[in-house]
Amino acid sequence: MTYLDAQDETQILLRDSVQDFLSKEHRLERMQALYHGKSVLDRRLWAAMAEQGWLALRLPEALGGSSLEPVHAAIVAEQLGRHAVPEPWLSCAVLPALLASRYPGVAGWLPLTQGLLDGSHVTTLAWQEDARSLDPSCVTTVAKPHSDGTYRLRGQKSGVACGSFADSLLVTARLDGDLSLWRVAREDPRVSLVESLTSDGASVAVVSFDDVPLTREALLDRGQAVSAALSAALDEAQLLAAWQLVGLACAALEITLEYQRTRVQFGQHIGSFQSMQHLSVDVRLQQALARAACQSALRRHAEAPESAAARAAIAAAKARASDAALLAGRFGVQAHGAIGFAAEASIGCYLKAALRWAAFLGNGSHHRRQYALHAGLHGTSS
């Protein structure tokens, strides 16, 4: 096993191929649609990402996937961050793939896994009900048996990533007291979405289920295994989100430094001003700390994925990376002056992306509390 600080040939080839593909296929200019209140998500690009094998990267070979490891997913995540790609790779590819990998023989997962292979079917998770909690077992949505042998799903979920972009929803609900997981068609007339644009042109939705009829085939699993599967998948998603934030932070600083080398004020390049140099050093230092935290979390996760030590390391990485990306984005906009807020300036895209990903699955403050909890620091004196 090697890590991003000591890449092997496979990792280097993967990094270069992702970078090359995104440089050709993704243009920040499309982000300008956000200024007109429109989502920028692109199903054509999503299908192209499937052709590259990125959607099924964490899917086992038995299900047609690549069966690659978290370190390879981290490489893709960092490059997606470097290019400020808004497509919901973590929410609609990695998380569904991690869940599907636990159920290789369950037929109900077939549309989902096929969609990961060819991009034809997009699935997102609808599991969170309380915005203040990331505990997947905190569920009040219910699935009740009906007299005709089917079930009726009733409840509401918040924070559903890219709901209108998806074809299916993976929904958690209580079934006779047990936690259960269901596949629900997003276009069912009894499923309603209230969707809002995110800062980077993606979307997040509140989804309501009004006695949605479901067959037994829609039930993917029930019991303690559902909570365990979700917790493990969310842990990895937090780790990969941290890597995506590291990519955002690095690219934002590179853009800013290049601007400082070309922008002249008072007869000098602004990069020569001591105040700018000091701020640049602060941003780079936070990036270095965030990358080190992410590398440590990747190692801990590989050694013991569901241990307290791994979860503490992931929390530290997400907190560090969130802060680093936000700092880099804000510094970049500040250094660019008024142009930093303009639709034509790429630096604004990085700040907007940092705002979303810093909050995704818990912001820096949340993860500092989680670090204290998993590291056993609660109740100690400062």
CATH code, domain with 245: 1.20.140.10
Do 64 and 131 fall into the same domain? no
Q: What is the pLDDT of residue 271?
A: 53
Q: What is the pLDDT of residue 380?
A: 46
What is the span of the domain harbouring residue 34? Answer: 9-121
CA gap 139, 233 in Å, rounded: 17
Q: What is the pLDDT of residue 267?
A: 61
DSSP output for 121-183: S-EEEE----TT---TT----EEEE-TTS-EEEEEEEEEEETGGG-SEEEEEEEETTEEEEEE
What does DSSP assign to residue 87?
S
**Does some domain include residue 2?**
no
Of 222, 253, 278, the last residue of a domain is 222
Do 145 and 25 fall into the same domain? no
CA gap 189, 212 in Å, rounded: 8
**Does some domain include residue 382?**
no
- Paired strand residues for 207: 157, 193
Q: What is the pLDDT of residue 1?
A: 45
Using the CB atoms, write b or e for 1-12: b if 16+ within 10 Å.
eebbeeeeeebe
Beta-carbon contacts of residue 262 (< 8 Å; ≥ 6 apart)? 269
Do 107 and 198 fall into the same domain? no
Q: What is the pLDDT of residue 279?
A: 78
Do 128 and 117 fall into the same domain? no
User: CB of 131 within 8 A of CB of 159?
Assistant: yes
Of 100, 121, 142, the last residue of a domain is 121
CA gap 192, 186 in Å, rounded: 8
Of 121, 151, 180, the last residue of a domain is 121
Do 114 and 234 fall into the same domain? no
pTM of the model: 0.92
Number of domains in the chain: 3
Closest CA to 168 of 230, 92, 220: 92
Across the chain, which has 382 residues, the per-10-residue mean pLDDT values are: 66 94 91 82 96 96 92 97 96 97 85 94 96 91 95 97 96 97 97 94 96 95 95 97 98 89 62 65 93 96 94 97 96 78 79 95 94 76 36
